[in-house]
Amino acid sequence: MLNQLIEISPACKLEIVVADNGDFLGLGRVTVNGVELRGAARPLQLRLDTPDGILYPRLELLTVDHGGDGTARVNLRAHGVRWSRGEYADDYDQATVWLSDSAEPVADELALLLKSATLTLGGREWQGFSYACEFRSAARQIHRLLIHGTWEIGGRITGNTVLSQGQCNMPVYVGAKESVFTTACLKTLDQYGSPQGNSFQLGPRGGLLQGFDFQVAQEGALLQYWPELDSISSLVESPAGSDLLHVVDEYRFPLAAEITTPEKRVLFLAGALAEHEVQDLWWEARKDCYGRVKKRFNITRTAPLPEMGLKYQTRVADGRLLMNIGGQEVDSTEVPYAIAELVLPVLAEQGIKRFFPEVMSESDVTALGMKRKLDDGVHGDLHCSSVCSTHRFFPAEFWGGIKAWKAMADKAHALGMAIGAWLAPHLSPRAPIFLEHPEYRMTSVTGLPAGGGYGFQTIVVADWNTPVADWLIADLKRWKEEGGLDYLFTDSISNMGLVQTNYSAKMRTNFAALGRLFSRIQALGIPSLSVEGLSPWAYGRFGIADLRGDLMEQNHAVAGQNDFGWWVEHMEMMDGLWLGCGARKRSPEEMEQLLFRAMAAGGYVCYEHEYGIDHKISPWWSRLNHVLNQAQPHMQTRRVLPDGAGIVWHDGDIRTVWTFKDIALDLPAKAKVEALEGHTTRSVKDNGSATLPAWGVYRFH
């Protein structure tokens, strides 16, 4: 080996792994202030290909150019081979073969760009570097580049802790060789490791999994993030028997002959940290990384509030859909009126602040739901999917139209509630807008409309870079002005919004397009946004199982896919999340404390199995809803108290403390302290001191 050591700064040193023949094998050891940040066993490698069947298995090191400002440019020659089998596929998923008169290898320019980096975060100075890749070719184009490395403080993952908010992974993982950590979305737990076991393996950053990487060990903390997060899909995984944490990032961009990937920063903070300090630094990292994205797209923060879904029952009679709302059966056109009369007052009394009913947009259900195949002849096409297969994002006459919606919205507003609607990044393949403008559809690698795992006959993803975005905004504007609309929940943000690339439009993605769309939605006066999954633009809202060990086999390898049990001991990771949970084998006292801890952390748990069609919930749940409604306006900056005592939020001169243990405080004479008790408050200060009992919420002025 002819390895080279690159000193990016006095604190940061990188090793370039070079074979005897001069081939670049990857990035080896990385140290910051003498601490190893990755094991050297597996070099960090760059992988690229073209969609027309050229692979680049060999990277030749040419030169390393050092800048005088803490930069280095590793110049490479990427040697490509004509693999013949390309990326495109036909209707039957067969890979397209690309013919070439020459079998000679090709060569293109590739560079690894290294730069010294620092960051002040959480009142501390972090040091490290950033890396990006630059590709240049006179004859070929690429649309993706994969970087596969492992990152382990101290050179091993055993004993280190990974903090990673995700829809399908445990939020806190303590590394151990006998266990598994993965961010892949598995079909079922027992299919882990199977090539057909993934629903999708590379998950979008800021969609399925956290938009940054955060790891702590006795040596310090490691933060990796993108100053400009974009279309990046990743897999973070530590397999059983391994002492490595693999981080695979695939950068996706429009097909081009010249491309520079977004830089990823690798920063280290040396020194041992207490558990509450770790949680504070993770929260600061999340705020900083997602705040950058919000600022870039001019989007304001939405925080979780008490929110519940609609419970109902349906049946069909005489060609009409009848729905039981709050114990009263009504025709589908009367559903919004019944909700306004029978459901909204119950929710408001119990402290629920946001509500969206069953999907009331025009859809396959409203347009085709009552038709039979035989009505139009035995050869006529008729494929009716669910309400998820939208025709138009506007209240359907099937549900009483905009008039009925307005009656429901007016009632919600009179009760102090925000009324919302369901949104999605996809439409029905039978949507009139797609029939008029098929170019608005995402096209998959097969040349067929992109339908994700559902198939293109059920759902088709929209390309939000096209004027379909203007079409949606026009309908939402009318909905807002004529009916009232305060809140949108965007479903399937990961698998139907951020995964697909448009093969009919240079493989462009929807990441930036969705950011622009959410910004335009807020500009309409619809301020509150949530998504299914995670998001830098909105709070995450998704369902979660409470496995408790008897629904699927559990062991030390994987505790279960999408398991509420993962969060129970780590509720501090709940900031910005709303979880719909069917709690199992948990007492009311335990559920109350878990909801309290979730609220304290900046999240919310809706126990979906704890209420029925009457929408009535337990008094303790209602009380906590009202407490959160009082506290949330002042919950801006979060700090976890030592020894698991609680969480304090700062907002100027106001402090809000959620206690998990009894706390005694000495206070200035002029300090005002009040306990938040449901709708009301109670003074608790006595002669310059205050004793704050556990499981209370207290506001300091």
For the chain, how many residues are written? 701
Summarize the confidence of residues 265-284 as an average pLDDT: 97
Summarize the confidence of residues 367-379 as an average pLDDT: 79
Shared fold status for 4-297 and 637-700: no
Q: Considering the domain 4-297, what is its CATH architecture? A: Distorted Sandwich (2.70)
pLDDT at 78 over 90: yes
C-alpha distance across the termini of the chain, in Å: 64
One-letter-per-residue 3-state SS of 636-652: CEEEECHHHCEEEEEEC
**One-letter identity of residue 564:** F
Class of domain 637-700: mainly beta
d(CA 480, CA 421): 11
- Tens digits of residue pLDDT in 506-562: 999 999 999 999 999 999 999 999 999 999 999 999 999 888 766 544 444 444 578
d(CA 348, CA 415): 6
Q: Do β-strands 320-325 and 85-89 pair in parallel, antiparallel, or remain unpaired?
A: unpaired
Tokens coding 278: 């770790």
Mean pLDDT lowest among 79-83, 303-307, 548-552: 548-552
Tokens coding 674: 């009040």
The overall longest dimension of the chain from CA atoms, in Å, is 91
**One-letter identity of residue 334:** E
pLDDT at 235 over 50: yes
Alpha-carbon separation of residue 693 from 592, 657, 658 (angstroms): 16, 11, 10
pLDDT at res. 330: 97
pLDDT at res. 559: 44
d(CA 581, CA 566): 13
Asked if 355 contacts 344 with a C-beta cutoff of 8 angstroms, the reply is yes
Is 0.85 topped by the overall pTM?
Answer: yes
**One-letter identity of residue 2:** L
d(CA 236, CA 246): 6
pLDDT at res. 555: 43
Q: CA 338, 342, 347: angle at the middle one, nearest 5?
A: 125
Residue of 406, 416, 422, 391 lying closest to 339 (CA atoms): 406
Fold of 307-539: TIM Barrel (3.20.20)
pLDDT at res. 437: 98
Q: Work out the pLDDT band at 61, boundaries 50, 70, 90.
A: very high
Tokens coding 322: 């009848």
d(CA 655, CA 652): 8
Tokens coding 471: 């079409």
d(CA 545, CA 551): 10
pLDDT at res. 686: 67
pLDDT at 255 over 80: yes
In the 8-state DSSP scheme, what is residue 310?
A: P
Q: Work out the pLDDT band at 447, boundaries 50, 70, 90.
A: very high
d(CA 199, CA 453): 8
Q: Give percent above pLDDT 90 in the chain.
A: 85
Domains of the chain: which residue ranges?
Answer: 4-297, 307-539, 545-617, 637-700
Q: CA 176, 180, 183: angle at the middle one, nearest 5?
A: 125
Mean pLDDT lowest among 118-132, 171-185, 400-414, 684-698: 684-698
Tokens coding 380: 């006529």
- Backbone φ and ψ for 280, nearest 5 degrees, come out as -65, -40
- Tens digits of residue pLDDT in 628-656: 999 999 999 999 999 999 999 999 989 99
Q: What are 423's strand-pairing partners?
A: 490
pLDDT at 201 over 70: yes
Residue of 81, 85, 83 lying closest to 97 (CA atoms): 85
pLDDT at 58 over 50: yes
Contacts of 663 (CB under 8 A, 6+ apart): 641, 645, 646, 657, 691, 692
pLDDT at 452 over 90: no
Beta strands in 497-545 (DSSP E): 528-531, 539-544
Q: CA 608, 611, 615: angle at the middle one, nearest 5?
A: 115
Mean pLDDT lowest among 348-362, 550-564, 574-588: 550-564
Q: How many CB atoms lie within 10 A of CB 687?
A: 7
Asked if 81 contacts 55 with a C-beta cutoff of 8 angstroms, the reply is yes
**If you average pLDDT over every residue of the chain, what do you get?**
94
The owner of tokens 């903390």 is: 221
d(CA 384, CA 457): 9
Tokens coding 256: 């081009």
Asked if 284 contacts 122 with a C-beta cutoff of 8 angstroms, the reply is yes
Residue of 83, 1, 103, 73 lying closest to 43 (CA atoms): 1
Asked if 38 contacts 247 with a C-beta cutoff of 8 angstroms, the reply is no
pLDDT at res. 560: 55
Summarize the confidence of residues 669-677 as an average pLDDT: 88
Beta strands in 159-317 (DSSP E): 161-163, 172-174, 181-182, 185-186, 198-200, 203-204, 212-217, 220-225, 232-238, 246-256, 258-260, 264-270, 307-308, 313-317
Asked if 437 contacts 448 with a C-beta cutoff of 8 angstroms, the reply is no
Q: CA 613, 614, 617: angle at the middle one, nearest 5?
A: 110
Q: Give percent above pLDDT 70 in the chain.
A: 98
pLDDT at res. 375: 76
Q: What is the DSSP secondary-structure string of 70-138?
A: SEEEEEEEEEEEE-SEEEEE-TT-PEEE---S----EEEEEEEEEEEEEEEETTEEEEEEEEEEEEE-S
- Backbone φ and ψ for 307, nearest 5 degrees, come out as -150, 140
Tokens coding 492: 């399937």
Summarize the confidence of residues 488-511 as an average pLDDT: 96
C-alpha dihedral, 343 to 349 to 351 to 354, nearest 10° = 30
**One-letter identity of residue 268:** F
pLDDT at res. 206: 87
Q: What are 172's strand-pairing partners?
A: 163
pLDDT at res. 429: 95
